[in-house]
Amino acid sequence: MGDPNLLEVLTEEGEHANKHIDYSFQMSEQSLSSRETSFLINEETTFQKNQQSKDSIFFRDGIRQIDFVLSYADDIKKDAELKAERRKEFEKNLRKTGLELEIEDKRDSEDGRTYFVKIHAPWEVLVTYAEVLGIKMPIKESDIPRPKQTPMSYVLGPVSLPTSVKYPHPEYFTAQFSRHRQELFLIEDQATFFPSSSRNRIVYYILSRCPFGIEDGKKRFGIERLLNSNTYSSAYPLHDGQYWKPSEPPNPTNERYILHQNWARFSYFYKEQPLDLIKNYYGEKIGIYFVFLGFYTEMLSFAAVVGLACFIYGLLSMEDNTSSTEICDPEIGGQMIMCPLCDQVCDYWRLNSTCLASKFSHLFDNESTVFFAIFMGIWVTLFLEFWKQRQARLEYEWDLVDFEEEQQQLQLRPEFEAMCKHRKLNPVTKEMEPYMPLYARIPWYFLSGATVTLWMSLVVTSMVAVIVYRLSVFATLASFMESDASLKQVKSFLTPQITTSLTGSCLNFIVILILNFFYEKISAWITKMEIPRTYQEYESSLTLKMFLFQFVNFYSSCFYVAFFKGKFVGYPGKYTYLFDEWRSEECDPGGCLIELTTQLTIIMTGKQIFGNIKEAIYPLALNWWRRRKARTNSEKLYSRWEQDHDLESFGPLGLFYEYLETVIQFGFVTLFVASFPLAPLLALINNIVEIRVDAWKLTTQYRRTVASKAHSIGVWQDILYGMAVLSVATNAFIVAFTSDIIPRLVYYYAYSTNATQPMKGYVNNSLSVFLIADFPNHTAPSEKRDFITCRYRDYRYPPDDENKYFHNMQFWHVLAAKMTFIIVMEHVVFLVKFLLAWMIPDVPKDVVERIKREKLMTIKILHDFELNKLKENLGINSNEFAKHVMIEENKAQLAKSTI
């Protein structure tokens, strides 16, 4: 009686799937067709379309819920017949698997040309595939009370959500669903037992494996291949209803409306997220992203408070800073003649012209800089260790403890199968499967590597171009401002250095956005050309390319300012030159830290503002245009499936770009935070907005995504760990070589001669003397001056010394102090990191106990269930029953002891 086509439909599932499926669909194709025909005839006689609610998520009978929708339009091209044949075969095979289909004719659609295929999964299909996919379902309400307060969270008063929103369902002890034990599970209503996210996941699982014919001697299957060939234009599960109003009976509870009211509104920016509801509606993979983003934002609040305190300290101590006081003093800084900052066109200048810049520099370059750098090294460790705990707690709460990798991530990509001309035996499944030999992949790997290298070289080239721009613009501004008397007032607060730094940073940000736009397209194309075998391989390959490029693209200019600018300048009379033409950039007498701060602020803030505007406006504009092309131009007047069809698709890589954006921000917060203690505060404000923007666009502007599982943030966690280790080194080097704190400390303890004011005389001590007569002709200013000497920032012997212009002993003392600081800071921070990692368990103790309790109770419930069944089957033989009871109890006792 078994359907002869059943195994063909599900070939790709292997033995495991077939063992669970073969019993369910034991009816012939002929009997199925006759049943559907009679049903449709009966349906047509009773159905009147104008009486159906426009917001209905049911078939025309008002009983069967729509779990998935396929759409397509008439195609007049030469392959129209082929596409029609594919659709016919595909839909026929879907019916064979037990799915029920209902087609909306194009005459009933709003645009008059789109067909909609509505799909419903009946109970028999759901229970079969729930067992195949290992979906856990409730067997008993949990007797473990919910934790009143989770670590690192302040769920108090107005911040909290209503309990019905925060915990939409009670907690249950769960077990993997088995159709043979249906009476064990808490099935009150078959229509609502499986949540809509599980239903659309099951249907998509069938769609991705259903064949649609044999072409070129190969069996073709899967909805993804049909979408790629434009046989269908889209495939999506339905939203519950409108996001601005609750559903009306008989529709089920509108979770989309609840999410919009309690999560997606900007007025709720201070509220916690309804994480369980997000998971129930969108699936665990999207849910865990919002858990991570919320937890990261929560942890940022601590770093933001400390960073703000360090900034306030710098603000309060600005006027008492001896260095800036001396620079601003007309009798000290006003009398120090500085050497020209460029050749010939730049003139000599007085040190007090940088008075304002030196004060601003003190805001971020003071004693608190060292403390904050060490604090952030410890903070990032606490963040990652507590995230491990949060993730472990989440695995328990969301039934992911025994989760294995999502099978749809491991399934073969249609593109891989289409390109494969070879097949080989899989040693595990003992089945022939597509295979691509290494020699066929190598050319694409070389092309991929060359492309990534070329684009990273392009980033470096563009950075060099910006440096050349800054050098040329600085020389022009310096000569222009010097000659124009009307700019004297402007020059007091907008010096050539500051102007060049601001415009250079803005130009660099624009170049970054342009390069990023093009590289995103190229990296996706190159990854496809590599022909990855599975979706997981595809995502991993794309992640590596995108992260490497964006790391270089966003951080290269910051690395240049932090570790290269002003470090290889030389000295007057013997400067170093870029391409033998442009003199290397010098730092401000107050150091390069203020410029690094400027660069970081512009790039980080600009990226965050641009990203949020793009995320909000892009889908909004596309959806507006689609609705404009519709007949009625009104969302309120056409059906639920058409409304969702006109929304933007989130896409398989939507979450990838969200993670990438967060990880790049994490780099700004950790890698260069010693130069800008307000970075965590800016990131915190951005993330508060980001959570609501992401929530708003998911609930209002995007189609509902297919629910999929994930038990962690995946490869991004390894990237975060790598950046955390690197951040310790970068911040140590920033404090040592970019900040001015180490030279000041060396002067304070070793060279100061004033007991009452130890820092007095530091500015004079940090500037070396150069004899103007020693200037080469091609570098000296064209106009003659009465000055005999000029000053420059370095530790070198004066011109009257026998070792003139060589580094003096103080230079080596400062260098030794810098290297010592780097070694000590890194060792201290890494020691604390390892101690914290050792002290903080990956899985909290209470979670371990709850997992043990659930396992014990599950085994006990299953044991009692099997005993009762055994009692029914063997009730006539009391001796036999007693023997079986003893065996089962021994098994339960053994399981209990192992737990």
Q: How far is CA 432 from the centre of its chain?
A: 37
Q: Are 320 and 774 in contact (CB under 8 A)?
A: no
**Rounded distance, CA 786 to CA 505, Å?**
37
Q: Which two tokens stand for residue 55?
A: 């917001």
Q: Which two tokens stand for residue 818?
A: 């810098």
Q: At what angle do helices 535-563 and 496-529 cross, to 10 degrees?
A: 160
List the chain domain ranges.
68-150+157-269, 847-898
Taking 3-state DSSP, the helix, strand and coil percentages for the chain, each rounded to the nearest 5, stand at 60, 10, 30
Q: Which of 286, 285, 414, 535 is nearest to 543 (CA)?
A: 535
**Rounded distance, CA 708 to CA 411, Å?**
14
Whole-prediction pTM: 0.85
Q: Are 210 and 13 in contact (CB under 8 A)?
A: no
Q: Are 366 and 313 in contact (CB under 8 A)?
A: yes
Long-range contacts of 13-21 (CB under 8 A, 24+ apart): 13/132, 13/209, 14/429, 14/431, 15/429, 16/132, 17/132, 20/128, 20/131, 20/132, 20/179, 21/128, 21/129, 21/132
- 10-residue mean pLDDT profile of the chain (899 residues): values are 37 39 36 39 42 76 91 80 90 93 86 89 93 87 70 62 86 87 88 90 90 78 86 93 83 89 91 92 93 95 95 89 88 89 80 84 87 92 93 89 59 66 69 70 79 84 84 71 55 66 84 86 80 78 86 88 85 82 73 83 89 85 75 58 89 87 93 91 94 94 90 88 92 90 91 88 91 81 80 91 91 95 92 89 88 86 82 62 64 57
Residue 61, CB-side half-sphere exposure with 13 Å CA sphere: 14
User: What integer pLDDT is reported at residue 29 of this predicted model?
Assistant: 39
User: What integer pLDDT is reported at residue 415 of this predicted model?
Assistant: 65
Cβ burial of 514 (10 Å; 0-12, 13-18, 19+) is: exposed
Q: Are 70 and 235 in contact (CB under 8 A)?
A: yes
What is the rounded end-to-end Cα distance, in angstroms, of the chain? 45
User: What integer pLDDT is reported at residue 747 of this predicted model?
Assistant: 93
Sequence-distant (≥ 6) Cβ neighbours of residue 549 within 8 angstroms:
452, 455, 456, 459, 516, 519, 523
User: What integer pLDDT is reported at residue 536 of this predicted model?
Assistant: 77
**Rounded distance, CA 360 to CA 370, Å?**
18
**Rounded distance, CA 529 to CA 452, Å?**
14
Question: How many residues are present in the chain?
Answer: 899
